[in-house]
Structure 1
Amino acid sequence: MDARVQASFLKALERLDAEIGDALEPRLRDMIRLRVSHLNGCHGSIRMHSEALAQQGARHDLISALARPARQMREGLVADGDAAALRFAEVLTDAPRGLEAEAREHVGAWFNASQIGAIVEVVAITNAWNRVLRGMD
């Protein structure tokens, strides 16, 4: 099957992607994007976000660890707040489990309402990109 997505749709995604997530540090945004892309099995996005993190100076063991659930990360690899953000991103992405109150409460201990909103935005746009890219493969 050959899928063609309207150019205007892709441009709208690009614009939205450029406008969201500013309340987060760029490194955390890319960590979330990479973790969500792993959950969605979007290999092109995994490569792109891995390279972005490497360019920011992220260590290889961190980039590799983002392929696994946040709860399985080695202690001390990421800050506790970043781990909470990654766990919240996992919960938002993995629809069958639904939104767990524990993940929302935990992320709230580390981030303010604007930052939590930015996490939701980054997760939503990454999920959208992953689905579009996988659908066009």
Structure 2
Amino acid sequence: MTDALPPLPLIGLGPQAFAAVNALHGAVEEAATAAGLEPILLELVRLRCSQINGCVYCVDLHTNAARRAGEKDDRLAQLVVWRESELFTERERAALALAEAVTLVHDHDAGRALHRAARPVLSEPEAAFVAWAATVVNTYNRIAVTSRPVAAAGV
């Protein structure tokens, strides 16, 4: 990687912007819980988006957060192939499909199909806050991929 650019310290150069992202995360977390979304479901959504975006820092962070919330290692290992796995519920599948549609926003047709598939399973508020959780983690992924922070062991 001789042509690689050095990390761009987004957090250090824009602490007020990062504080706003953190505040948004807190607001979405609170509203998602009020809408009935379980902590493990939210961590699966965050982890799947981070996998798609190739954010090693966030994959580590959300894998550990999911474990702390009670998620099992076999499900974490199969999250990357959740469509083929029998370990995920219909509700989790709907949330993961919707999160992928938000993350892969460039594919409008697939996104609409995934959104339609999720809506009969998730209530409107649940679907909205899965989409919000995916939006926020996608923002964090882009910050981390650009600034390349080093994950602390056991984060």
Q: TM-score, with normalisation over the residues of structure 1?
A: 0.91
Contact in 1 for aligned 2:41/2:92 (Cα 8 Å): yes
Distance in 2 between residues matched to 1:25 and 1:47, nearest whole Å: 20
Alignment: residue pair count: 134
Contact in 1 for aligned 2:47/2:59 (Cα 8 Å): yes
Distance in 2 between residues matched to 1:15 and 1:95, nearest whole Å: 24
Answer with 97-106 or 107-116: which moved more: 97-106
Selected match of 1:121 from 117, 123, 132: 132
3-state SS, counterpart of residue 80 of structure 2: coil
Distance in 1 between residues matched to 2:90 and 2:138, nearest whole Å: 24
- Runs in 1 of length 4+ with deviation above 6 angstroms? none
Selected match of 2:66 from 53, 62, 81: 53
Q: How far is 1:96 from its partner?
A: 3.3
Aligned equivalent of 2:21: 13
Q: How far is 1:95 from its partner?
A: 2.8
Q: What does residue range 93-104 of structure 1 map to in structure 2 within 5 Å?
A: 93-98=103-108, 99-104=110-115
Aligned equivalent of 2:9: 4
Q: TM-score, with normalisation over the residues of structure 2?
A: 0.81
Distance in 2 between residues matched to 1:95 and 1:67, nearest whole Å: 18
Q: How far is 1:30 from its partner?
A: 0.4
Which sections of structure 1, spanning at least 5 residues, go unmatched? Answer: none
Aligned equivalent of 2:83: 71
Aligned equivalent of 1:90: 100
Q: How far is 1:116 from its partner?
A: 0.8
Aligned equivalent of 1:80: 90
Which sections of structure 2, spanning at least 5 residues, go unmatched? Answer: 1-5, 149-155
Selected match of 1:108 from 103, 119, 124: 119
Counterpart of 2:8, as a letter, is A
